[in-house]
Amino acid sequence: MIEGFIFDMDGVLIDTEDCHFNAWVDVMKGEGIPVTLETYLEKIQVQGRRRAVENLMANPSEETIARLSAAKEEAYLREVDRKKEVVFGDARLFLEKCRDMGIPMGVASSSSLAVRMLERTGLLEFFPVVVGGGDVKRQKPEPDIFLEAARRLGIHPEHCVVFEDAKSGIEAAHRAGMHVVAVDRLHLLDPSERFLRMVNTLDDLSLEQLLGV
Ligand SMILES: O=P(O)(O)OC[C@H]1O[C@@H](O)[C@H](O)[C@@H](O)[C@@H]1O
């Protein structure tokens, strides 16, 4: 039985994955380190900033980690400012439908800016529970962030559905014992994996079917 939904944020609810990517390209250019899409997907996406820097540089000092993290945040917010609308239209509609059906919803995002971004985009009102990267010690693909969101929602993990777009996020949700709807907007995921559903946009989902009502 499905009782609650937990959403990843970047790439699922808001169109900002390219902002993270561009910000890292920009910041690491200053360090003479090229960041390709492949590097991003393998070493940066879904990682917190500290892990991202550690994955890109050999033995970075605390000062370097702090400096590059701050520069990345600045560059990311600049990228977001450039966009007129960052919320995916299908996501807003889907959240409205879920709210009308009374489904409890939370966000579990590795981003340290989760609350700030949800507030800025007007999405915070949908979510009584928001767990950000800073709220758990171990990041995705460890299951902690999803387990914490389920705990705060008061729902058993096996009754939760996670909406994710990234490989390591999907792994984290599976390790948490949750169902997964893979939101593959960029056609990057492997369709042979076991998902509850795999969709390109949230418009493709029937809530009634998903809930079995
Ligand atoms: O740099 P922040 O705000 O801590 O964000 C960390 C991660 O947040 C996630 O939500 C994004 O999907 C990742 O791509 C990003 O790297």
What distance in angstroms lies between residue 7's CA and the mean position of ligand 1's atoms?
Answer: 14
- Ligand 1 binding pocket mutation candidate from 9, 15, 20, 117 (most atoms within 8 A of CB): 20
- For the segment 23-80, what is each residue's pLDDT rounded down to a tens digit? 999 999 999 999 999 999 888 987 789 999 999 999 999 999 999 999 999 999 999 9
Residue-wise pLDDT for 2-19, tens only, equals: 999 999 999 999 999 999
Model confidence pLDDT, tens digit, residues 166-204: 989 999 999 999 999 999 998 888 888 889 999 999 998
- The residue whose CA has the least distance to atom 1 of ligand 1 is 49
Q: Which residues line ligand 1 (CB under 6 A)?
A: 9-11, 17, 20, 44-49, 72, 109-113, 133
Q: Which domains does the chain have, with CATH numbers?
A: 4-15+85-211 (3.40.50.1000), 17-82 (1.10.150.240)
pTM of the model: 0.93
How far apart are the C-alpha atoms of 45 and 137, rounded to whole Å?
17
d(CA 7, CA 114): 11
Q: Is 90 marked active-site?
A: no
Closest residue by Cα to atom 6, ligand 1, is: 111
For ligand 1, pick from 17, 46, 53, 131 the residue to mutate: most ligand atoms within 8 Å of CB: 46
* Amino acid 213: pLDDT: 62
Query: What is the per-residue pLDDT for 192?
Result: 80
